[in-house]
């Protein structure tokens, strides 16, 4: 039976809607499993209005009381995690184990945001001058919107909404229409946890819904994660309408392999970070950069052997290393880029284009592919593939290996594998990328630091989660206060105030 999905507004799912619906597919079979309503401007504006009406009461709750809601929500998600992971896996196509990881990384930011009583503390200076005290406070913006991608339907919405809610804002989420069920369930769990109706709303839709969030004056800030062209559009449009914007785009993450690296460790890192979730991660390693021909030859030989052992299967297959891509369009694009790599002269060491899963002829499955002797002018190096494709770009020496990620237009994540501390220290200081791993393939920071790339991977001054998220979700108000003793009047002053 095909499910019908609408929106979540005023503490409940919207029961009846008119207008267009989009199809939600089962990536394992290619069959439609649900239909999701696509909101128009009027319906999106109704969700914004509801969020605006609910926000003042929520902001009036003290931070500790808001934190208790987050902590109860955390327990409810942990209670229902198996159900949520199964729902996520069925719509996205990532394995159940990976779906659990998606949820868990989101919950870690909820845990961080539950420390909001400490995080919201301002500064105070006693007697800054002549009986004058100066102090600052952080206050919520009002309504914040989040536009989240298909590849992390639990993690990214939680990264966006948890700090916003903790700070006293209301939140309107526009998730991907490809896998909207988990965000809707998270909204229900927030209400069960005690979040007042309207403080967290979910609106499904396409460009009309997005443009409404970007232009409506009642929305004070917007967070976005997705492709770079859309990130640029969201950032420019939101900024032009006076909104604070935090937008994260594409990536081309490199893993530099020094001659002294442990190749067994490197191969494990590359197959996991390159092919996990069928490569549909903004932090996926898609470029291996071995230093020196000997290192490159040995690495490619070991990768070829290891890839032959990978198991591609249904998303609910506990033995599968990765499952299908999310959509037919994604499958077609990855195949087209592999074709382009062959046409441009890269050596296709392992070809995953013809993979089919028995009994699933219409599923969006693709085997792992490995290219060698890729050069920086090729499309498969310049563009984000977002599929199970790993490219080997051989570097003659360390300086060339350092230049490749530094000069690429994306600057999201990079790793270096080495046993030499001097090399690691020099690399981390000089590489022009926002997140760096040393013998760590996917350098996603812990929740109390922050996540964000450089160059065309990120737009805006503040990163996701960590203390940056508290700054993004609040405005600082600074108070200069004096209480004259004994009612003494000093008369008018016509000079700029100074503190002497």
Q: Which two tokens mark 289?
A: 């950069």
Looking at the chain, the whole-number percentage of residues with pLDDT higher than 90 is 94
pLDDT at 492 over 90: no
For the chain, what is the mean pLDDT?
Answer: 96
Residue 1 is predicted with a pLDDT of 84
pLDDT at 493 over 90: no
pLDDT in tens, 16-63: 888 899 999 999 999 999 999 999 999 999 999 999 999 999 999 999
pLDDT in tens, 79-106: 999 999 999 999 999 999 999 999 999 9
Instruction: Catalogue all structural domains in the chain, each as residue range(s) with its CATH number.
Output: 3-249+457-478 (3.40.605.10), 253-438 (3.40.309.10)
Which has the closest alpha carbon to 116: 141, 146, 139, 144?
Answer: 139
Q: Which two tokens mark 438?
A: 């040393």
Looking at the chain, the whole-number percentage of residues with pLDDT higher than 70 is 99
pLDDT in tens, 161-216: 999 999 999 999 999 999 999 999 999 999 999 999 999 999 999 999 999 999 99
Residue 16 is predicted with a pLDDT of 82
Asked if residue 268 lies in contact with residue 299, where contact means CB atoms within 8 angstroms, the answer is no
Residue 131 is predicted with a pLDDT of 86
The residues with which 464 forms a beta bridge, in sequence order, are 451
How far apart CA 452 and CA 228 sit, in angstroms, is: 13
How far apart CA 122 and CA 297 sit, in angstroms, is: 56
167 is catalytic: no
Active-site choice (167, 247, 282, 473): 282
pLDDT at 488 over 80: no
| Average pLDDT, integer, range 128-154 | 95
Residue 487 is predicted with a pLDDT of 60
pLDDT at 486 over 70: no
pLDDT in tens, 235-252: 999 999 999 999 999 999
């Amino acid at each position: 039976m095909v499910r019908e999905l609408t929106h979540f507004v005023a503490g409940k799912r919207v029961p009846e809607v008119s207008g267009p619906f989009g199809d939600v597919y089962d990536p394992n079979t290619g069959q439609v499993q649900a239909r999701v309503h696509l909101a128009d401007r009027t319906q999106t504006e109704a969700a914004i209005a509801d969020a605006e009406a609910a926000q003042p009461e929520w902001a009036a709750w003290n931070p500790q009381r808001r934190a208790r809601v987050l902590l109860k929500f955390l327990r409810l998600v942990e209670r229902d995690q198996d159900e949520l992971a199964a729902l996520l896996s069925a719509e996205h196509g990532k394995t159940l184990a990976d779906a659990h990881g998606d949820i868990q990384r989101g919950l870690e930011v909820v845990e961080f945001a539950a420390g909001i009583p400490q995080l919201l503390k301002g500064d105070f200076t006693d007697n800054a001058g002549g009986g004058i005290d100066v102090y600052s406070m952080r206050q919520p913006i009002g309504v914040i919107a989040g536009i989240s991608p298909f590849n992390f339907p639990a993690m990214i919405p939680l990264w966006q909404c948890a700090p916003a809610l903790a700070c006293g804002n209301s939140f309107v989420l526009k998730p991907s229409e490809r896998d909207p069920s988990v965000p809707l369930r998270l909204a229900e769990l927030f209400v069960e946890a005690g979040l007042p109706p309207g403080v967290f709303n979910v609106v499904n839709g396409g460009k009309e819904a997005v443009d409404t969030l970007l232009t409506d004056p009642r929305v004070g800030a917007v967070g976005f994660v997705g492709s770079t062209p859309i990130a640029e559009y969201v950032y420019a449009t939101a900024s032009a309408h006076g909104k604070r914007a935090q937008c994260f785009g594409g990536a081309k993450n490199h893993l530099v392999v020094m001659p002294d690296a442990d190749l067994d460790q490197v191969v494990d890192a590359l197959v996991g970070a390159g092919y996990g979730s069928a490569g549909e991660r903004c932090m996926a390693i898609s470029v291996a950069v071995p230093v020196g021909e000997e290192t490159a030859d040995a690495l490619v030989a070991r990768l070829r052997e290891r890839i032959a052992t990978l198991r591609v299967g249904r998303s609910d297959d506990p033995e599968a290393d990765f499952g299908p891509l999310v959509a037919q369009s994604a499958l077609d694009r990855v195949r087209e880029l592999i074709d382009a790599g062959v046409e441009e002269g890269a050596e296709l060491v392992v070809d995953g284009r013809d993979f089919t899963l028995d009994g699933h002829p219409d599923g969006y499955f693709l085997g792992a592919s490995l290219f060698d002797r890729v050069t920086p002018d090729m499309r498969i190096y310049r563009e984000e593939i977002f599929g199970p494709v790993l490219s080997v770009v051989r570097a003659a020496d360390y300086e060339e290996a350092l230049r490749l990620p530094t000069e690429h237009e994306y600057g999201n994540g990079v790793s270096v594998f080495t046993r030499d501390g001097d090399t690691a220290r020099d690399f981390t200081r000089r590489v022009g990328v926002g997140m760096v791993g040393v013998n760590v393939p996917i350098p996603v920071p812990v929740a109390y630091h922050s996540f964000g790339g450089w160059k065309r991977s990120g737009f805006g001054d503040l990163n996701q989660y960590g203390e940056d998220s508290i700054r993004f979700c609040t405005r600082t108000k600074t108070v200069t206060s004096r209480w004259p003793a004994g009612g003494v009047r000093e008369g008018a002053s016509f000079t700029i105030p100074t503190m002497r």
